[in-house]
């Protein structure tokens, strides 16, 4: 007679590794996009300040 485990072996697997590996996989792209965005932000900020005397502000309000 065969005895089969009642529990699905998948429940022992932690979904955390998927979240971890996804970040490593997309890290290069995220870093590049962010660096370019910052670079443009600085150029824009430089001209905005020169031309209009405005400063970008970091707000978190929805």
Which residues contact another protein by CB under 8 A?
A: 10, 12-28, 30-35, 37, 58, 60-62
Distances (CA, A) of 51 to 2, 4, 39: 80, 74, 18
Nearer to another protein, 53 or 62 (CB): 62
Nearer to another protein, 18 or 43 (CB): 18
The 10 Å Cβ neighbour count of residue 45 is: 13
What share of residues in the chain are helix, strand, coil (percent, to 5)?
65, 0, 35
- Cβ at position 50, least distance to another protein in Å: 25
Nearer to another protein, 13 or 43 (CB): 13
């Amino acid at each position: 007679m065969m005895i089969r485990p009642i529990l699905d072996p998948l429940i022992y697997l932690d979904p955390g590794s998927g979240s971890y590996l996804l970040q490593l996989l997309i890290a290069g792209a995220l870093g590049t996009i962010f660096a370019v965005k910052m670079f443009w932000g600085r150029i824009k900020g430089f001209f905005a300040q020169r031309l209009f005397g405005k400063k970008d502000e970091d707000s978190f309000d929805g």
